[in-house]
Amino acid sequence: MTSAISEQQFASGFLHLLHTNTPVFSATHTTSQSRGPVTLTKMPAPKRKRTDAGLGSSADAAAAAGPKRTFAKLTLKSIKAPKFTHTYAPLAVDAQYTVLDLKQRAIDENLVPAGSELRFLLKGKVLKDSGLVADLGDEGAELMITVLVTAGAATTSPVSTPAEEEKKEAISLTVDEPVWAQIGQVLDNAYGSEKAAKVLEKLKASYQA
């Protein structure tokens, strides 16, 4: 019994030496609530990793724009008037470049008259204005786009006034002397010279009235 108590005292003394600066509480010890709640130390926020593209909105914008696509050759060819063939070699476009943008470029470069309406066809299929040029072919492809040019709104001819219409009609109905001579011959053969002359005079008078 004495040996057991001595070992226990030795163990307690050894532990006491190890934890000299640590307060020892009894099994029935309670902590006063007046000291406030126990809180954990706030850990610092982790640092953001630097990407290869860089930091900030410029990198986000570059990612949103998408990769560029470069065609080895893109040719616009009109087979009807006004006929033209224009080749871009190479042509690099971004992911947001539309068919409408390409049409506007053709107009800006005076390939077609101002005010013209354009239709683009690829392999016989009409391309929508909202379609993306980057989707028309693979990287390094050669494209041939057929262009149909339609003139803009036609100019309306000036409307003639009633007076001008009457003038045109009067001019178109004018009977020259050679014509009257032919009519006189027909009357002469039918009624004789004396009567034909009277009938011809009446015809002239009634026509010119």
**What's the pLDDT tens digit per position in 97-127?**
999 999 999 999 999 888 889 999 999 899 9
Q: Look at residue 61 in the predicted model and tell me its pLDDT.
A: 46
The Cα–Cα gap between 55 and 61 comes to 11
Instruction: Return the SS3 of 71.
Output: strand
Which token pair is 198?
């009277």
Which token pair is 168?
């045109």
More confident residue, 31 or 51: 31
Could you report the per-residue pLDDT of 35-87, keeping only the tens digit for each? 555 565 666 666 655 444 443 444 454 445 556 888 999 999 998 888 899 99
Percent of the chain with pLDDT over 70: 56
Average pLDDT, the chain: 74
Could you list the beta-strand ranges (E) of the chain.
69-71, 73-78, 84-88, 91-93, 117-122, 125-126, 142-150
The Cα–Cα gap between 103 and 109 comes to 10
The Cα–Cα gap between 127 and 121 comes to 6
* Cα 130 to chain centroid, rounded: 5
Q: Look at residue 209 in the predicted model and tell me its pLDDT.
A: 61
Q: Does pLDDT of 146 surpass 60?
A: yes
The Cα–Cα gap between 28 and 115 comes to 96
- Taking the alpha carbons at both ends of the chain, their separation in whole angstroms is 163
Residues 112, 106 contacting (CB under 8 angstroms): yes
Q: Which residue has the tokens 């087979």?
A: 79
Q: 8-17, 112-121, 177-186: lowest mean pLDDT where? A: 8-17
The Cα–Cα gap between 95 and 133 comes to 8
Q: Look at residue 41 in the predicted model and tell me its pLDDT.
A: 60
The Cα–Cα gap between 103 and 121 comes to 12
Q: Look at residue 187 in the predicted model and tell me its pLDDT.
A: 82
Q: What is the mean pLDDT of residues 13-24?
A: 61
